[in-house]
Amino acid sequence: MDHLAVIPVAALGVGILLQLALGGFLSNRWKGILAFLAGLSSFIAILGLLPLVHANGFVKENLFVWDRNILFQFHVDGLSLVFGLMASGIGTAILFYCIQYMSHEKEGTTRFYGLMLTFIAGLVCLVFSENLLAVYISWEIIGLCSYFLVGFWYKQDAAVQGARKVLVMTHLPGYGLLIAILMLYHQTGSLVWTDPAVGAAFTTGIFLLVFLAAMAKSVLFLLHSWIPEAMNAPTPVSALLHSACYVKAGVYLVARMYSITTWNPAWNQIVLVIGCSTIFVGAVFALVQTDLKRMLAYSTISQLGYIITGLGLGTNLGLAAGLFYCMSHGLFKGTLFLCAGAVQHSAGTRDMRHLGGLAKKMPFTAAIWLIAASAIIGVPLTNGFIAKWLILDAAMESNALIVVVVAWIVSVFTAFYMLKATVSTFYGEESSELKGKHIHDAEPSMKIGMGVLGGMCVVFGVAPQLLMQSVIEPAVKSMNGGWELQLSWLGIQTQSAGLNMTLAAGILVVLSVVAGLITLTMTRKSANQAGTVSLFTGGDPLTEEVDVTVQDFAALAETAFNPIYQITDPDRVYFPLWRGIKTGALWLNHSIQIGLEKHAILASAVLAIVIIGLAAFV
Amino acid sequence: MNYSWINQMQIPAGMNVDGIFGIAFIAILIGLLVMAAVLSPRQKAWWPMVVAASGLVIAAQMIESTQVKSILIDAAALLAVGLVWYETREKSKSAWLNYLVMIAAAILMIETGSALLRGESIEAGLGTNKLAFGLLIAGFCLKLAFMPLYFWLPDVAERANPLTSAFIISIVDIGAFLELFHLRSEAPFLFDGYSTIWLVIAILCMLGGAILALAQTNVKRMLAFSTIDDMGYLLIGLLAGSEVGLTGTLVAAICHAFFKLCLFGSVAAAEKFEGRELTLDGSHGLASRYPVSSTVFILSALGMIGVPPLLGFAGRWRLYLSGYEQGGFLLAATMALATGLALLYYVRVIHKVWLGQPVADAKNREPLNVKVILLVFVIAMLVFGLMPGWVTGLLAG
C-alpha cells in the first residue's frame, strides 16, 4: 500500500485540524474523544508498518520539497517503530485518560488537545524523518509543544516559570544538533542521514554536539534540572513528557547515531559516565522529595540514566537492553504519572505529607500504582525486572563492573523512594487533611487509560519475547547491531553471563525468605512481649508516639546525602551564571548610557572616524 | 581590480528581490494602517507621512536606477525623521535630534562615498577609494543603526508610538538594508576587501545588541536592541555572498520586517488600552487581557530567533551555515551564543509582561481588526515556515 508511512502523521494532522475547526462547538469530552481517535488511528497505522519493516528492513517515502532542492522524506525502520509505537501507543492511552481528566477544565481544551496531538506528531516525524533538517524541525516542534503544554495554565506563576525553564534549558543545547547538522552538510553536501557520506563525516566533535542536545531533552546529568520544575502542568502532560514523547527524543538521537555511523568505542566511555552519573543523581534527589510528581520527575532522570547506560555499553545485548528499558519505562512511568494524577484529581493535593490511606478509597488506582511501582523497582513478573536484568547482564558481559555496582545500588534507592511514596500515599492512616473530603477512585476513562498501561507492564514482564521479537530485534538490527538474544517466558535467557547472576540472585532470594521465616518464627514470642511496630526499624521497637513519616524519610536522605546535593545540583552553577550575565549587561548598559549615549552625536562622530580610519588601514 | 558599479545595478543570480520586498512592504503598510485605525497616535500628520514614506520605499523597489533608488530611500528616512520629530518634539528632544543628525550624516557619508567612486575604476590600494569605502561602511552603520553607531534607534523606539517604530524598522530600515544588499553584487570589494571590519560589526551587533537588550526594562527599547542584534545575522549572510548566505539574509530580512510589525503591534495594542508604557517592572499577566497579542508576541519572538517551524528558521539555518563557512565552528558557536542571549531577553519579556498571574481584571480589550491583522501575519509566517520553498522559490525568480 502506498503512502503507508504518512498515515500515522496524517491521522494526527487531521486530528489537529478537527480540533481547531470544531473546538468552538464541541464539549471538552468530545474534544477528548476526537483526540483519542486520532491517536488511536496513528497507533494502528504504525502497527501496520511492522510487517513491512520485518520484511524489508525499512519503509521509505518521499514527502515533498520543503525548501528549494531540499526534499523531506521518511525512512521508517525498526528503531523508528520503537519510538513511534511508544509515542502513539502510550500517547493514545494518555489521551483516553484525558477524556474525563480534562472534562472539567474551564478554558483552553482546544489548545490542549491540539498541542498534545502536535506533540505526538512531532515525535513521530522526528523518528521517521530521513532528512536531518526535518529531524531538527521536529526536535524543536516537540520543544515548543512542551513549552506551551507545561505553561498550559499560563495564569499561574509556578506553571509559567516551569515552562520558561523547560524552554531555555532544552532549546539552547539544541543548537548543538543544528550546528552538527550544518557541519555535516558543509562537509558532504547531504542532509540525508542514510547517505554513507554523512556517516563517514561523523566525527567525535559532531557526536559531542548531538549528544549535548540529547542530554538536555533526555534529562541527563548536568542538563536535567528543568524537569522537576515542569511538574505544574496538567498530569497527562507530565505523563506524555516523561514516558513517551519528550525525554525519549534524546534517547532516539543517541540510538540513531549507531545507524548513521560506525560507533566509535571512545564514545562509550562518555555515554557511560554521563549515564551512570544520571542514574545516581536522579535517584538521590528522588529520595528527598515529598511532592509525588516531583519525586516521579527525579525518578525519570534516574531511569533515563539506565536507558542511556544500556545504549552506552555498545554491545548487542546493551542496545537491546537499552531499547527494552526505554519502552518499559514509557509504560510504567506513564502509569505512575496517571495514578499520581488520579490521586491529585481526587485528593486535591500531591503532597505526600498530606496523603495516606488512599488504598481504601481508591483501590483500583492503588492496585495499578502497585504494579507500576513494582515494575520501576524491578520486581519479577513485571517488565521493569526484565529491563533491569538485561542492563545488568549486558554490563556484566562487557565487564563494566562500575555500571553493575551503580545500577544495583540505585535499584535499592529506587525501591526505597517508591516504597516511601506507596506507603505514604496509599497505606497507613488517612491524613487529617483528607478527612471530610469526598475522595473517590478514578473515573472510568482514567481507569482504562492507566489500566491498559499498567497491564502492559505485566504482559511484557511475563512474555517479554513478544516485544523483543516483534519490535526490539528489528530496532537493534537497524542500529547495525546483531541479534543474539533468546528470551523466553519471564525473560529467562540461558546464553549469557546473566545465567550465573540469576542463579546467584535466586539463591539469595530463597535464602533471604528462609532466613526471614526462621527469624519470624523464633522472635514472634518476644516481639509480642515488646509490642508490635508497624514499620521496619532495624529491630528497635518504637514507642506509640513515634510515627515515622515521609518527612522523616526525606530528612534522613537529606542528612545522609547532603554533600551530594550540594555538588550535583547544576542550578548552583546556572543561576549564578545567569545573574552574572544580567549584572554584566546592566553594567555595560549603564556605562554606555553615561559614556556614550549622553553624548550620542559626538560619540557617533568619533566612532565613525575610527571606522573610516580602520578602512584606510585594511 | 576594476569595479565600475554605479548605474549598473544588477540583482545577484536572477534573484527577484525587489518584487518580493515590494509586495512585502505593501502588506506591512496595509497591516500598519488597519491597526492604526484603532491604535494610531492622535496626530493627523501620522497617516500622510507614513503612507508617503512607505510609498517612497515601495517605489524604490520598482525602479532600476541605483541613484533614484537611493534618493527615494533617503527621502523616506527623512520623512521618518520628520514623523519622529512630530511625535516626540514635546517629550524628548534627544530622540528626534539624534535621529535627524545621524540620518543626515549617514546620507552625506554614503553619497560622498558613492561620488568618490562614481565612474572611477577602483584600485584596491588607492587612498581615495579607501576613504570612499570607509565612508560607505560608516554611513550604512549610522543609517541602519549597526553597532557601534546605533544610538538613535533605542531612543526613537522608546519615545515614538510603537506603530511608528514598527514602520521605521519594518519598512524604512529594511528598505535601506536592501540598498546595502544590492551593493553586495555591485561592489563586492566593499565586502570582500573589508570583511574583517564587517565581521567585527556583525559580531558586535549580535552580541552587543543581545547583551544590551537584556539590560532593558522598557519593552520597546528592548525591541530596538533586538533589531540591532538581528542585523548582525543579516550581515553575516551578506558578507558570505554565496547563494545560501544571500537567500538567508533575504528570508531573515522578510521575517524581521513582519515579526517586528507583530511585536510592536502587540505592544501597541496593550499600551493603548493600558494607558502606559510596557515595562518589565510594571506589567504582569497581560495575556489574560490581551490573549491574541500575547500569543502573537510569543510566536514572533520565537520566530525572530529562528525557532522552527516559523519562517525565521528558513533564514537562520542558512545564516548559520554561512557563518560556519566563513568563520568555522567558532563563528557558528558565537551566533548560537548570541541567539541564546536573544532567547533569554525575549523569555524575560514574555514571562514578566505577558504570562503569569493577572494583576487586575482579565477582560479582553483587544480590538477585532488588530487581532485579525496580527493573527494573519503570524499565521502567514507559520505557513511559510512549513513551506519555505514558496518564499525562497519566489526570491530565486
Q: What confidence score (pLDDT) does residue B125 get? A: 56
Mean pLDDT of all residues in A362-386 = 94
Query: Are residues A155 and B351, on separate chains, in Cβ contact within 8 Å?
Result: no
- Taking the C-alpha atoms of residue A74 and residue A68, their distance in angstroms, rounded to an integer, is 18
Burial of B48 (0-12, 13-18, 19+ CB in 10 A): exposed
Chain A residue numbers with beta carbons less than 8 Å from the beta carbon of B101 are 601, 604
Q: H-helix or E-strand containing A295? A: helix A292-313
What average pLDDT does chain B have?
90
Mean pLDDT of all residues in A505-513 = 73
A309-362 pLDDT tens trace: 999 999 999 999 999 999 999 999 999 999 999 999 999 899 998 888 899 999
Indicate whether B4 pLDDT > 80: no
Mean pLDDT of all residues in A203-225 = 95
Q: What confidence score (pLDDT) does residue B189 get? A: 87
Q: Does B3 touch chain A (CB under 8 A)?
A: no
Report residue A44 as a C-alpha cell: 494502528
Tell me how far CA of residue A478 lies from CA of A134, A201, B304, in angstroms: 20, 20, 38
Q: What confidence score (pLDDT) does residue B1 get? A: 34
DSSP SS3 for A270: helix
Which residues, in sequence order, are bridge partners of residue A64?
A72
HSE, CB side, 13 Å, CA atoms: give it for residue B196. Answer: 6
Other Cβ atoms less than 10 A from the Cβ of A546: the count is: 11
Can you spell out the DSSP letters for A129-181? Answer: B-BHHHHHHHHHHHHHHHHHHHTSSTTSHHHHHHHHHHHHHHHHHHHHHHHHH
- Taking the C-alpha atoms of residue A187 and residue B293, their distance in angstroms, rounded to an integer, is 43
Q: What confidence score (pLDDT) does residue A515 get? A: 83
Non-local CB neighbours of B163 within 8 Å, separated by 6+ positions:
B32, B35, B36, B39, B40, B41, B264, B265, B268
Q: Is A68 left (phi over 0), alpha (psi -120 to 50) or beta?
A: left
Mean pLDDT of all residues in A417-427 = 91
Mean pLDDT of all residues in A489-513 = 68
Q: What confidence score (pLDDT) does residue B361 get? A: 67
Contact A215, A270 (CB under 8 A): no
A133-153 pLDDT tens trace: 999 999 999 999 999 999 999
Task: Give me the residues of B, 303-322, that contact A with CB < 8 A.
Answer: 307-309, 313-314, 317, 320-321
- Taking the C-alpha atoms of residue A335 and residue B304, their distance in angstroms, rounded to an integer, is 39
Q: What confidence score (pLDDT) does residue A544 get? A: 53
Q: What confidence score (pLDDT) does residue B65 get? A: 84
A50-81 pLDDT tens trace: 999 999 999 999 999 998 889 999 999 999 99
Select from A330, A336, A308 the least CA-distant residue to A321.
A308
Query: Are residues B392 and A614, on separate chains, in Cβ contact within 8 Å?
Result: no
Give the rounded percent of residues in chain B with a pLDDT score beyond 70: 92
- Taking the C-alpha atoms of residue B11 and residue B227, their distance in angstroms, rounded to an integer, is 25
pLDDT band at residue A533 under the 50/70/90 scheme = very low
Mean pLDDT of all residues in B84-105 = 88
Q: What angle do CA A614, A615, B3 make, to 5 degrees?
A: 170
Q: Which residue has the higher pLDDT, A242 or A134?
A: A134
Non-local CB neighbours of B394 within 8 Å, separated by 6+ positions:
B16, B19, B20
Q: What are phi and psi of A272, to 5 degrees?
A: -70, -40
- Taking the C-alpha atoms of residue B287 and residue B233, their distance in angstroms, rounded to an integer, is 30
Q: What confidence score (pLDDT) does residue A528 get? A: 47
Non-local CB neighbours of A193 within 8 Å, separated by 6+ positions:
A75, A130, A131, A132, A135, A199, A256, A259, A260
Q: What are phi and psi of A203, to 5 degrees?
A: -90, 175
Mean pLDDT of all residues in B297-308 = 96
- Taking the C-alpha atoms of residue A66 and residue A52, their distance in angstroms, rounded to an integer, is 26
- Taking the C-alpha atoms of residue B193 and residue A245, their distance in angstroms, rounded to an integer, is 50
Query: Are residues A608 and B109, on separate chains, in Cβ contact within 8 Å?
Result: yes
pLDDT band at residue A400 under the 50/70/90 scheme = very high
Please identify which residue in the block is written with the cell numbers 537584556: B214
Q: Does B148 touch chain A (CB under 8 A)?
A: yes
Burial of A7 (0-12, 13-18, 19+ CB in 10 A): middle
B310-346 pLDDT tens trace: 999 999 999 999 999 999 999 999 999 999 999 999 9
Indicate whether A474 pLDDT > 50: yes
Query: Are residues A186 and B133, on separate chains, in Cβ contact within 8 Å?
Result: no
DSSP code of residue A262: P
Radius of gyration of chain B (CA): 20
Burial B6-36 (b: 16+ CB within 10 A, else e): beebebbeebebbebbbebbebbbebbbbbb
Query: Are residues B356 and A171, on separate chains, in Cβ contact within 8 Å?
Result: no
Residue of B nearest to A72 (CA): B387
Q: H-helix or E-strand containing A212? A: helix A204-217
Indicate whether B5 pLDDT > 50: no
Q: Which residue has the higher pLDDT, A552 or B300?
A: B300
Indicate whether B122 pLDDT > 70: no
Query: Are residues B134 and A607, on separate chains, in Cβ contact within 8 Å?
Result: no
Question: Is the complex ipTM higher than 0.95?
Answer: no
Select from B47, B288, B264, B71 the least CA-distant residue to B161.
B264
Report residue A108 as a C-alpha cell: 483552553
B51-79 pLDDT tens trace: 999 999 999 998 888 889 999 999 999 99
Chain B residue numbers with beta carbons less than 8 Å from the beta carbon of A590 are 215
pLDDT band at residue B9 under the 50/70/90 scheme = very low
Query: Are residues A611 and B138, on separate chains, in Cβ contact within 8 Å?
Result: yes
Q: What confidence score (pLDDT) does residue A116 get? A: 97
Report residue A329 as a C-alpha cell: 519505562
B153-205 pLDDT tens trace: 999 999 999 999 999 999 999 999 999 999 888 888 889 889 999 999 999 99
Indicate whether B100 pLDDT > 80: yes
Q: What are phi and psi of A484, to 5 degrees?
A: -130, 10
**Count of positions (residues) in chain B:** 397
pLDDT band at residue B10 under the 50/70/90 scheme = very low
Helices A109-128 and A78-85: crossing angle in degrees, nearest 10, is 170
Q: What confidence score (pLDDT) does residue B14 get? A: 60
Select from A65, A74, A86, A71 the least CA-distant residue to A4.
A74
Chain B residue numbers with beta carbons less than 8 Å from the beta carbon of A154 are 287, 355-356
pTM score > 0.90 for this model? yes
B253-274 pLDDT tens trace: 999 999 999 999 999 999 988 8
pLDDT band at residue A560 under the 50/70/90 scheme = confident
Report residue B290 as a C-alpha cell: 490581551
pLDDT band at residue A101 under the 50/70/90 scheme = very high
Tell me how far CA of residue B169 lies from CA of A133, B144, B165, B179, B231, in angstroms: 30, 9, 6, 15, 11
Dihedral sign for Cα atoms in the order A4, A260, B316, A173: positive
Q: What confidence score (pLDDT) does residue B39 get? A: 83
Chain A residue numbers with beta carbons less than 8 Å from the beta carbon of B396 are 68
Mean pLDDT of all residues in A353-377 = 93
Give the rounded percent of residues in chain B with a pLDDT score beyond 90: 71
Task: Give me the residues of B, 277-296, that contact A with CB < 8 A.
Answer: 285, 287-288
Residue of B nearest to A164 (CA): B347
Q: Which of A33-37, A259-263, A475-479, B124-128 has the lowest mean pLDDT?
A: B124-128
Of B194, B288, B351, the CB nearest to A615: B194
Mean pLDDT of all residues in A543-555 = 64
Of B211, B215, B343, the CB nearest to A172: B343
Q: Which of A6-10, A208-212, A421-425 has the lowest mean pLDDT?
A: A421-425
Query: Are residues B133 and A615, on separate chains, in Cβ contact within 8 Å?
Result: yes
DSSP SS3 for A67: strand
Please identify which residue in the block is written with the cell numbers 522526528: A126
pLDDT band at residue B124 under the 50/70/90 scheme = low
Which residues, in sequence order, are bridge partners of residue A60?
A75
List alpha helices for chain B, DSSP H. 17-39, 46-62, 66-88, 93-117, 127-144, 152-159, 162-167, 174-186, 188-192, 195-203, 209-214, 219-240, 243-274, 291-304, 312-349, 368-386, 389-396
Of A70, A586, A614, the CB nearest to B197: A614
Select from A104, A105, A59, A102 the least CA-distant residue to A78.
A59
- Taking the C-alpha atoms of residue A13 and residue A34, their distance in angstroms, rounded to an integer, is 12
Dihedral sign for Cα atoms in the order A580, A586, A592, A595: negative
Chain A residue numbers with beta carbons less than 8 Å from the beta carbon of B193 are 618
Q: What confidence score (pLDDT) does residue B2 get? A: 36
Query: Are residues A584 and B313, on separate chains, in Cβ contact within 8 Å?
Result: no
Residue of A nearest to B390 (CA): A67
Indicate whether A545 pLDDT > 70: no
Report residue B72 as a C-alpha cell: 527615494
Q: What confidence score (pLDDT) does residue A2 get? A: 66
Task: Calculate the dihedral angle through the C-alpha atoms of A30, A31, A32, A35, rounding to the nearest 10 degrees.
Answer: 120
Q: Which residue has the higher pLDDT, B90 or B179?
A: B179
Chain B residue numbers with beta carbons less than 8 Å from the beta carbon of A187 are none
Q: Which of A285-294, A326-335, A579-588, B273-282 has the lowest mean pLDDT?
A: B273-282
Contact A116, A98 (CB under 8 A): yes
Report residue A12 as a C-alpha cell: 494526527
